[in-house]
A and B are shown apart, each in its own frame.
Chain A
Amino acid sequence: MLTPVMGGGLQQTTNYRVVLPFYVFASISFLVATALLLLHTDIAQLHYFNPHTLAITHIMALGWGTMIIFGASHQLLPVLVEGKLDSTLLAYLTFILMATGIPFLVVGFYIFHTGWVLETGAVLVNAGVILYVINVFRSSFKSKTRSVHSWYMIIASMWLFSTTFFGLLLVCNFNENILPGNSVSYLSIHAHLGIAGWFLLLVIGVGSRLIPMFLISKYTNNKTLWWILGLINAGLASFIIFKILEISAAYYYISLILVLSAIVLFGRHCIKAYKVRIRKNVDEQMKTSLLSVIQMLLPFIALITVLAFLPADSHPNIALLYGFCIFFGWITAIILGMTFKTLPFIVWNKVYHKKAHAGKTPAPKELFNEKVYNSMLVVYLSGFGLFIVGIIFMNQLILKSGAAALFTTAVLYVFNTGKTLLHQPKKI
C-alpha cells in the first residue's frame, strides 16, 4: 500500500530574491580580494598583523566565505532543518547589514582607521550575524525534530557570533583597554573561532548532506557525524582554554589532533558516500568540492611544521601560509565547486519551474559555461600552488604569478556567475 505524505511532502524552497544578492556580493568580494592580493604580494614578507593582510583576510572570510555561505544556507536551511526558513525579512536585513558593514570593516583595516570606520563596520556585521543566528534558531526549533545537520547549523552560527563579537571587542580594544592584553595577542583565538567554529563546522554540516545528495548516494552515518561535531567543538574549546591560560604550545597538539581526527573522519565519510554512489559520472563541480576535502589537510601540514620545527612567532610567512591554505584553499575550492551546483538550480527554479513541461528546457548545468568553469579550475589550482611556492621561497615573481592566476580565477568565476544570474528563458 502506498501512503501519500501529509501536506504534500514537498521541500519548501526559499525565494530566490533572498538568496541571489549574497551570491552577487560574494563574487565581487572574491574579485576585490584577489585584486588586493595581486597589488600587495609583499605581505608575504610582513607580519600577519598588517593593514593589507587584515583587509584581505576579512574580505575573504566575511565578504567571500561568509556571504556565500549565508546565501547558500538561506536556500539550504529548509533541506538541513527539514522545515522552512523562518523569516525572509530577517534574511533581507542580514544582507543589508552585512553588505554595509563589510566594506566599512575592510576599508577600516586597509587604511587602518581604528576609530569609527572599523567600529561601524564591526557593529553592522555583528547586527547582521545576530539576525542570521535568530533566523537559524527559529527555523531549526520550529521543526519537530532536529537532525544532526541542524545541530551543525545551530552550533556553527553560535561560533560565528562568538567570532564577530570577539572581533568587535578587539576593534574597541584598539582605542580603549577593555581586554587584559593587546588585540594582537588574541588574534589566534578570533581566527580559530571563525575557522573551526564557523567555517569547518558549517562546511562539514552542509557537505555531509549535500555531497551524498548530489552523488545520489544513500550512504549516511549519523553516528560519525555526531563524533565529528563533538571532536571539532572539543578541539576548539580546548584551544581557547589553553590560549587563555597561556599553557605551553605543546598542548596545542591536543586541540590539533582532535580537529584533525574530525577532518579525517569527514574524509572517510565522503569516500564511503562516493563509493556507493548511484551516479557514476561525477561532474567537475563535485570533483572540485571533493578536492576541497583533501585541501582541508594542507593548513594542518603548515601548522604542524610551525609547531614541530620553528620557534614561536619567528616566521610570519608560515602563519600566512596557514591562513592562505584555509581561505584561498579549502574554503575557496568548496565555494568554486558548490556555487555551480547550487546557483544554477536556484536560477533554473526561478526561470523554468513553471515552464518545464512546456518544451525542452536546458538542464541547470547548461546555465553556465562549462569550458570557462574548467579553465577556471586549472587557473585556480595553478595560482594556489604558485602562491604557496612563492610564500615558501619568498619570491616576488612567483607570488605575483600566483596572485595573477587567482585574480584570473575570480574574473572567470564572476563571468560564469553573471552568466547564470542573467540567464533568460529560452523560447520554448
Chain B
Amino acid sequence: MSVNVITNNNERCEFALEGLYEVYDPEVGLNVVDLGLIYQLDFDESEKKLDCTMTLTTQFCPMGEAITGDTTRSLSGSFPDWQINVNLTFDPPWDYTKISPEGNKFLGR
C-alpha cells in the first residue's frame, strides 16, 4: 500500500480503504485514497465506532458535501454495524505531496 493513513488497526484500515478506492473526487476523477484526502482511520472495537478524519483539496470545495457523504456511505457499507463519524480537517491542509504515486501517474505528473 503506497498511501499514508494513520490508523490503530492495519487490517481493518486496509479493508476500509478497499471501499474508499471507489470514492471519487468528481472534479479530479481520482479516488480519495490516492488523492491523499484520508488522513486517519480510528477503530474503537469495544464501542464499534469508526472515526475517519479527512480533508478536501480546498476548504471551499463546492463538492465537499458529495465527497464526505460518499465517504460515509462507503465506510457504512464496509462496516454495517459500526457507528461512522467522518470529520473534516484542514490542519494540516492538503497539498500535492499527499498524492500517492498511482495518483500522480493518473494526473500525468
| Interface residues in chain A, defined as those with a beta carbon under 8 Å from any beta carbon in chain B | 2-5, 8-11, 13, 75-76, 78-79, 82, 209, 213-214, 216, 218, 278-281, 345, 348-349, 352-354, 356-358, 363-364
B99: contacting residue among A5, A214, A278, A348, CB under 8 A: A278
Residues of A within 8 Å of B50, CB to CB, are none
Residues of A within 8 Å of B58, CB to CB, are 213
Interchain CA distance A82-B58 in the complex, whole Å:
12
| Interface residues in chain B, defined as those with a beta carbon under 8 Å from any beta carbon in chain A | 6, 22-24, 26-29, 39-40, 53, 57-66, 68-70, 73-74, 77, 87-92, 95-96, 99, 107-109
- CB contact under 8 A between A364 and B26, given known A354-B69, A357-B70: yes
Interchain CA distance A242-B104 in the complex, whole Å:
54
> B26–A278 contact, CB under 8 A?
no
Q: How far is the CB of A193 from chain B (nearest CB, A)?
A: 30
Interchain CA distance A218-B98 in the complex, whole Å:
13
Identity of the chain A residue whose Cβ is nearest the Cβ of B29 in the assembled complex: A363
B88: contacting residue among A5, A213, A214, CB under 8 A: A5
> A353–B91 contact, CB under 8 A?
no
Residues of B within 8 Å of A5, CB to CB, are 88-91
Interchain CA distance A280-B109 in the complex, whole Å:
6
> B96–A218 contact, CB under 8 A?
yes
Residues of B within 8 Å of A209, CB to CB, are 60
5 tightest A-B CB contacts, nearest first: A280-B108, A4-B87, A357-B73, A9-B88, A356-B70
Inter-chain pairs besides A2-B89, A5-B90, A216-B28, 19 sampled, C-beta below 8 Å:
A2-B6, A2-B39, A2-B92, A3-B89, A5-B88, A8-B88, A10-B64, A11-B62, A213-B58, A216-B107, A218-B95, A279-B108, A280-B109, A349-B65, A353-B66, A356-B73, A357-B22, A363-B26, A363-B29
> A345–B27 contact, CB under 8 A?
yes
Identity of the chain A residue whose Cβ is nearest the Cβ of B26 in the assembled complex: A364
